Structure 1
Amino acid sequence: MARTVSNSAFIILQWSYSTTVTATLNAVNAYSEWAPLPDLAKSDAGVFPTF
C-alpha cells in the first residue's frame, strides 16, 4: 500500500512539474512573439569592449 501511495505521489509531482514547464515555455514563446529580442549573434549587444 505504501508503495502505491508513493508511486501515485510521484506521478502527481511529475505531472505538476511538466505542466509548470509547459506553461513557462508557452509564456516565453508568447512574449517573444510580442516583443522580439534582437539577434544577439548579429549585433554587438553583450560584447565586451576591447581596450
Structure 2
Amino acid sequence: MTETFDIECPGCGKTKGPITTHPGTVGIHCSCGVSATVDIENQTVDEWQER
C-alpha cells in the first residue's frame, strides 16, 4: 500500500506534500527559492540548495 507524508522546507519551514512513499527520491521546489531532494525511505530532506 502506498502511503504519503509531508516534509518541511529547509529554507522557510513551509509544509510541502503530500509525497508518496514509492522507492527512490523526489525533488521539491519551494517558492522561497530552495530546491531539495527528499529521501523517501527516511522521509527526510537529503540535500538542499538555494536556487
Instruction: Answer whether TM exceeds 0.5 for this pair.
Output: no
Task: Using CA pairs under 8 Å that are at least 6 residues apart, name the structure with larger relative contact order, 1 or 2.
Answer: 2
Q: Tell me which structure has the larger Cα radius of gyration.
A: 1
Q: Aligning the two structures, in what range does the TM-score lie when normalised by the shorter sequence?
A: under 0.3
TM-score, normalising length: structure 2? 0.17
Structure number with higher strand proportion: 2
